Amino acid sequence: MMTRFITIIALLLMSACASSPATNFYVLEALSPPPQAAAKDMKKRLIGVGPITLPPLLDRKQIVTRTLMNGIEVAEFHQWAAPLKDNVLEVLTQNLTQLQPENFLRPYPWSAYGTVNYRVLVDITRFDTRPGIAVNFEATWAIMDESNHRIIDNGRSKISRALIDNSYPATVHALSQVLAQFSTEISVALQKL
């Protein structure tokens, strides 16, 4: 009788494991315009991108979404393929490289490239979604002159993009788009240097 009971429990556990949905993995992608030709006689500056910070709530492998009444959902079966902070830094650097062909851009840490002329610091306070409603991005940023460690420009960005589809692929695509829009704002500030 005991053997039969153990067999039934084992079969139930195996059937529960067999019915678990597959985990889906996602990455952010650079959505920049085609590169512009840089002037040949310009001396290129080396600009470091980072470090960036993310709220601990978002710095996890699962995709986090907001719900009504200040709730959150952590998607166990929809995850980032790489650490989110690393993916955001990579995409931001790629976008800025496309938008700033007259400069060399390197992600943090850039010690292998020597010193940088300027550093772009980014503190992301919101990078999430409300499924079927919108994706939201908020960040403060600063551009620092590395020769004297002085902040020469700073700002706050708040970007929202409506979602018509509440699927995770559509959400990740919209997050990539708001990151591209943020990259454009940083590029405009860098052009003033």
- Tell me the three-class secondary structure of the chain, residue by residue: CHHHHHHHHHHHHHHHHHCCCCCEEECCCCCCCCCCCCCCCCCCEEEEEEEEECCCCCCCCEEEEECHHHCEEEEEEEEECCCHHHHHHHHHHHHHHHHCCCEEEEECCCHHHCCCCEEEEEEEEEEEEECCCEEEEEEEEEEEECCCCEEEEEEEEEEEEECCCCCHHHHHHHHHHHHHHHHHHHHHHHHCC
77-118 pLDDT, tens digit each = 999 999 999 999 999 999 999 999 999 999 998 777 678 999
User: Does residue 67 sit within a domain?
Assistant: yes
User: Does residue 114 sit within a domain?
Assistant: yes
User: Does residue 126 sit within a domain?
Assistant: yes
pLDDT for the residue 35: 57
Give the structural domain span for 146: 27-191
User: Does residue 139 sit within a domain?
Assistant: yes
User: Is the model more confident about 6 or about 188?
Assistant: 188
| CATH code, domain with 164 | 3.40.50.10610
User: Does residue 7 sit within a domain?
Assistant: no
pLDDT for the residue 111: 75
- Count how many domains the chain has: 1
User: Does residue 12 sit within a domain?
Assistant: no
pLDDT for the residue 5: 57
User: Does residue 42 sit within a domain?
Assistant: yes
User: Does residue 16 sit within a domain?
Assistant: no
155-186 pLDDT, tens digit each = 999 999 999 888 999 999 999 999 999 999 99
